[in-house]
A and B are shown apart, each in its own frame.
Chain A
Amino acid sequence: MSERRTRHDLRISFIVNGEERRVEAPPMKRLLDVLREDLHLTGTKEGCGEGECGSCSVRMNGELVNSCLVPVLQAEGAAIETVEGLGKAGKLHPIQEAFLACGGAQCGICTPGMLMATAQLLAINPHPTIGEIREGLAGNLCRCTGFKRIFDSVAAAVCEMDSRTGGAHAG
């Protein structure tokens, strides 16, 4: 959409936030750029661009990936979930509510990645210990918060999601 198609472009189709999407892009274009430029899903942020910081984290086929390290070719047929798929203004996901309530976002550039990493963590492990929260977010760097409020946010999200599903959570 954003660029004219060249003879090197490939037709890629994948599922983004539950919707089937098709793009025409160079095969080595970063998934990050396809999401932001071709699909205008600018919630996913570029931090370092080299897989260090986790700002560009998205979920792909149930795994957390750094979208700056994924050539779009690899995303053919994949199910991608970005922060836009988590919740919307006025109807936020409990994880987003928790980050808002606990001050888990400060400057904001790590936030979409933190949210996706949290979503991934809680999908695998709905009741993480503090150690597991730390481990689950270890691939996402935050320069502002010192992480404490992010841990608090994740813990609050666990409680909130428990109460919504009526799941019993000891402790």
Chain B
Amino acid sequence: MANNQMTNYIMPTAEDVPPIHIYFEEIPCRFGGCGAKGIGELPHDGPAPAILNGIRDAIGVGFNTIPLLPEDLFEQLSAQESKAEAATV
């Protein structure tokens, strides 16, 4: 049951699943209260802020909405430039 993609991967059916046994391996997370850490369904909310933070780090302009398009970058950068020009005049 090897799958190489997420779009049409094959799910295990009732006939395919192996016996499942659950064991607890406790490794406290130092960032969570009482060592707690969320597991299970992976959150999708990390990547977008990480990318926007990366952009802010690179060009010094912060964005807080997605999608972030090249046009948005251009607009913000142009606005910054014209502001800088106005300041120097």
Contact = CB atoms under 8 A, between A and B. Distances in A.
Interface of A: 133-143, 146-148, 150-151
A148 B20 contact: yes
Contacts, number: 26
B45 to A, nearest CB: 20
Nearest to A117: B14
B71 interface: no
A151 B11 contact: no
Contacts of A139: 13
B15 interface: yes
B14 A140 contact: yes
B11 A143 contact: yes
B59 interface: no
Given A138-B13, A148-B19, A151-B14, 9 more contacts: A133-B14, A134-B15, A137-B14, A138-B14, A138-B15, A141-B11, A143-B11, A147-B14, A148-B17
Interface residues of B, number: 7
B78 to A, nearest CB: 47
Nearest to A52: B11
Interface in B11-35: 11, 13-15, 17, 19-20
Contacts of B14: 133-138, 140, 142, 147, 150-151
Across the A-B interface, the 10 shortest Cβ-Cβ residue pairs: A137-B14, A138-B15, A134-B14, A138-B13, A134-B15, A147-B17, A138-B14, A147-B14, A146-B20, A141-B11
A143 to B, nearest CB: 7
A146 B17 contact: yes
Contacts of B17: 146-148
Contacts of A148: 17, 19-20
Contact of B15 (A135, A142, A143, A146): A135
Nearest to A140: B14
A87 to B, nearest CB: 22
B51 to A, nearest CB: 28
- Residue among B13, B14, B19, B20 with the most chain A CB within 10 A? B14
